[in-house]
Amino acid sequence: MNAFTLPQLPYAYDALEPFIDKATMTIHHQKHHQAYVDNLNAALEQAEEKETDLDSLLQRISEYSPAVRNNGGGHFNHSLFWEILSPEPKLLPEGKLAEVIDSTFGNLDTLKTEIKKAGLGQFGSGWVWLYVKFNGSIAVSSTPNQDNPMMDIQSTNRGFPILGIDVWEHAYYLAYQNKRADYLDAFWAVLDWASVEKKYEEALSKIK
């Protein structure tokens, strides 16, 4: 058996209310994410694949089946999503990340605008990302379904994700219905920039 398991949330299901509701968090974590983990393990077992490092697997995802791609991406993407959310978030970036945001986008508000634009522009289900390119710069992109910038099937927009927003309808529909824009606006109230800063430093260490 492969070692992939559902990560425990570091907060209660209702801790992010009113921005993300308890019912959505419960279903999203216990049902959707659990299904990705179960299906990933089943797909890897069928392929007789023993890889247990998710980052390594995604970076050569072109070698695997669509089932591994979809469910491996689903497991990675959701794990990152839970980690960057907090009921007591650090609301502003500092240090190196704040500097590179300002130098790349002009200011934080412009970054938020670009992320919202990418999120609204993603047709159907998918994700919007802030990621670190292999040259150390940062950029915003969106991907369909459970793809992400780490995957080697991306011809452009490749790198290490440090912030991801789930724009599948299951992530917001109970509270926001079809108002994806409202959900994207509310997201910033529970985004923990301390976690994003940590992921930024980790990404830089991987490209040195």
At 15-30, the pLDDT tens digits run 999 999 999 999 999 9
Q: What is the pLDDT of residues 163-202, one digit of tens each?
A: 999 999 999 999 999 999 999 999 999 999 999 999 999 9
**In whole angstroms, what is the distance from residue 11 CA to residue 31 CA?**
17
User: Is the per-residue pLDDT at 1 higher than 60?
Assistant: no
- Residue 119 CB-density burial (10 A; 0-12 exposed, 13-18 middle, 19+ buried): buried
Q: What is the pLDDT of residues 37-52, one digit of tens each?
A: 999 999 999 888 777 8
Predicted local distance difference test score (pLDDT) of residue 155: 84
**In whole angstroms, what is the distance from residue 79 CA to residue 58 CA?**
14
**In whole angstroms, what is the distance from residue 55 CA to residue 73 CA?**
10
Predicted local distance difference test score (pLDDT) of residue 47: 86
**In whole angstroms, what is the distance from residue 19 CA to residue 116 CA?**
16
Total count of domains within the chain:
1
Q: What is the pLDDT of residues 82-98, one digit of tens each?
A: 999 999 999 999 999 99
Residue 16 lies in a domain: no
**In whole angstroms, what is the distance from residue 106 CA to residue 28 CA?**
34
Residue 193 lies in a domain: yes
For residues 62 and 70, is the Cβ–Cβ distance under 8 A? no
AA letter at 200: Y
Average pLDDT over the chain, rounded to an integer: 96
Residue 7 lies in a domain: no
**Residue 132: helix, strand or coil by DSSP?**
strand
Residue 13 lies in a domain: no
Residue 197 lies in a domain: yes
Q: What is the pLDDT of residues 40-85, one digit of tens each?
A: 999 999 888 777 899 999 999 999 999 999 999 999 999 999 999 9
Share of the chain above pLDDT 90, in %: 92
Task: Give the mean pLDDT of 148-153.
Answer: 97
Radius of gyration of the chain (CA): 16
Q: What is the pLDDT of residues 109-133, one digit of tens each?
A: 999 999 999 999 999 999 999 999 9
- Residue 150 CB-density burial (10 A; 0-12 exposed, 13-18 middle, 19+ buried): buried
Task: Give the mean pLDDT of 148-172.
Answer: 96
DSSP state of 131: E
Residue 139 lies in a domain: yes
Predicted local distance difference test score (pLDDT) of residue 190: 98
CATH number at residue 57: 3.55.40.20
Residue 12 lies in a domain: no
Residue 194 lies in a domain: yes
Q: Which domain covers residue 82, as residue numbers?
A: 21-208
User: Is the per-residue pLDDT at 2 higher than 70?
Assistant: no
